[in-house]
A and B are shown apart, each in its own frame.
Chain A
Amino acid sequence: MNDKTVSAIIVGISIVVAGGLLWWLLGSPTEIEPIKRVTDVEAETLAGTMDDGSASKESIVNIEGIFEEFENSPTEPSSSWTTFRGSDYSNVVTDGPALAESWPAEGPPVKWMVELGEGHSGAGVFNGKVYILDYDEEEEGDSLRCFSLSDGKELWRRWYKAPTKKNHGVSRTVPAITEKYTVTIGPRCHVMCVDTETGNFRWGIDMVAEYGTEVPLWYTGQCPIIDNGVAILAPVGSNLMMGVDCETGKVLWETPNELGWNMSHSSIMPMTLLGKKTYVYCAIGGIFGVSAEPEDVGKLLWSSNVWTHSVTSPSPLAIDDSRIFLTAGYGSGSMMLGLKEEGGEIKVEPLFELDKKVFGCEQQTPVFYEGHIFGILPKDAAALRGQFVCMNPDGEIVWSSGKMERFGLGPFMFADDKVFILDDNGELTLIKASLDKYEQLARHKVLPGHDAWAPMALVDGFLLLRDNKRMACLDVRAK
């Protein structure tokens, strides 16, 4: 083999290698066949991965259940906390004794503390008795428990069997209480009415079985209300809303659900809009107003789908005679809704919308105090995440608590020119109720547990609050 042949072989191999390399580098990538990703219902049903709703088709629950009475220690009369957010639904306490502006090193005195089933239900108070709809994990039932406000001893309980699996806890709601009746809504939409003093059963409604309600994701958070002896409920199944006579359990009126909407975690809020008393509810699908006036009670006055989100926990907030503030978490932001009467009809339109980074609330309903809206922003609110903020009704942030003062999903309430804010981990913060700035007065970890999300109640200077497993009564009065 001479030099010429060797050179030719080397050049030939080089050309082949270079060509191969070029082909590899410049060649088109392997074609990927696009796959149409749609739900294969047949395959998923066979695999057992389809939720066909069969799991929620439950047998009828005997809501009368079982009554148990305990040691009857005498109770001292007290003021009341009759429903979710107090008797005027504002979460602003305007009566009662002066409250302490600071706490001792060991925190505000704990009057008593009791164990509860895992959940987020809040307490109501009437005439020295505390009422809470607990979930009894051993008996697998919703249990309305009545405690003495003065010492926390349990007086009686009425419970019905309704096995419910933990899904971020079980219990959720606050009872509605009058002198004669107490109405509760269980996590799976069982309504129970009992005699407030004795706990005697009056009537029950299974909203799923009787009104086709779809239990919201993570169970319902709807707190019932009682208006002039009538329980106002929003099944948002076969009807949107209905009024039930507390004395007899008879359905007095129903508002048909022609919109095909569903129940949310929100609660019905009574408001006076355009001079007319109205029950307002945020459903999954939209928001609507039902007349609460005697002459046309139950009439659907207006509805709109401008505010619809897959999860809505906060309730609508009345700003004035013609404005409602709406907010939610999970990226929803907020909206100011305006109402006006045109040609005998009520028109509803958004006045402005706010991005999630400006204002939103994931679980708690904001508080309207001295013409301003207060709330804790969710984790997706960028710089304002977790901050307690004060916003004017034009949607402009007046102040925020600052990046060093962030909170979770827990409740907040106004009383005696102060604000109580409960953090997820049971840490209670007291600040001044101010339109100018965030000013902290006191802070103490008052509950050992976590997920302290239930609404608080304040009666005669005694603050009732809970974490996911226990309820405490704190003495927050000034000395």
Chain B
Amino acid sequence: MAAEQESIKREDFIGKVSSRIATFFLGLVGGLAVFGARRKNTVWQLDPTKCVSCEKCSTECVMSPSAVKCVQDYPMCGYCRLCFGYFQPNAPELTSAAENQLCPTDAIERLFIEDPYWEYNILEDKCIGCSKCVLACEVFGNASFYLQIRHDVCVNCNMCAIARHCPSDAFQRVPADDPYLLKV
């Protein structure tokens, strides 16, 4: 009698535990699926109208180099021979030598189009998102350089490390199917 009671209790116990574990895992999987789906619907992006070019994008991102890159808005660019986003202030010469360039990583390519126009292209593999060129272009040029999170690099952290440190609250979630905040 005692052995029968013990046997029923064990089966009960195993059944109850199994059903609860199964429920827990079902809930977990379902929850993760919903969370994952929601997470996939939005991504982080930087509003260029709020950005103050503080340089934190280059130091706070979990990726190295940062997932934030400078982008060039070609219709806004003046195609100037002396581009203040490309050259150091009072650069000794207007050539691509390092001492003349503002970019610390040589991430801006300068191409002569025809007098007096020069084209400036961002080499994203080299860009670290330091925004030195962005600030200079904003102050002295047409503001055609600005920062954007590049989603081929960004890992879309739950809490973006740069957003936590951004002094101008420029980071926000945007729809994944429209992931860039363009100036124009």
Report which A residues bind B (CB closer than 8 A).
36-39, 44, 48-51, 55-56, 165, 167-168, 217-218, 309-311, 329-332, 362, 378-380
Contact = CB atoms under 8 A, between A and B. Distances in A.
Nearest to A330: B140
B96 interface: yes
A331 to B, nearest CB: 5
Contact of B139 (A39, A168, A217, A380): A380
Contact of B81 (A48, A217, A380): A217
Interface of B: 78, 80-82, 84, 89-91, 94-98, 101, 106, 110-112, 114-118, 138-140
15 contacts: A37-B101, A37-B106, A38-B97, A49-B96, A49-B112, A50-B112, A51-B94, A51-B112, A51-B118, A56-B115, A217-B82, A331-B90, A379-B139, A379-B140, A380-B140
Nearest to B79: A167
A48 B98 CA distance: 19
A37 B98 contact: yes
A218 B141 CA distance: 12
B139 A44 contact: no
B115 A378 contact: no
Nearest to A380: B139
Given A48-B112, A379-B140, A380-B140, 12 more contacts: A37-B106, A39-B96, A49-B112, A55-B115, A167-B78, A167-B117, A168-B80, A217-B81, A217-B82, A330-B84, A362-B140, A378-B139
B98 A38 contact: yes
Given A39-B95, A330-B140, A167 B116 contact: yes
A268 B91 CA distance: 25
A378 B97 CA distance: 28
B115 A39 contact: no
Contacts of B110: 49
Given A217-B82, A309-B90, A39 B97 contact: yes
A39 B111 CA distance: 13
B164 to A, nearest CB: 25
A38 B95 CA distance: 9
Contacts of A378: 139-140
Nearest to A52: B112
Contact of B96 (A44, A167, A217, A379): A44
Q: Which of B84, B111, B112 has the most CB of A within 10 A?
A: B112
B119 to A, nearest CB: 10
Given A37-B106, A48-B112, A165 B117 contact: yes
Contacts of A38: 97-98
Contacts of B95: 39
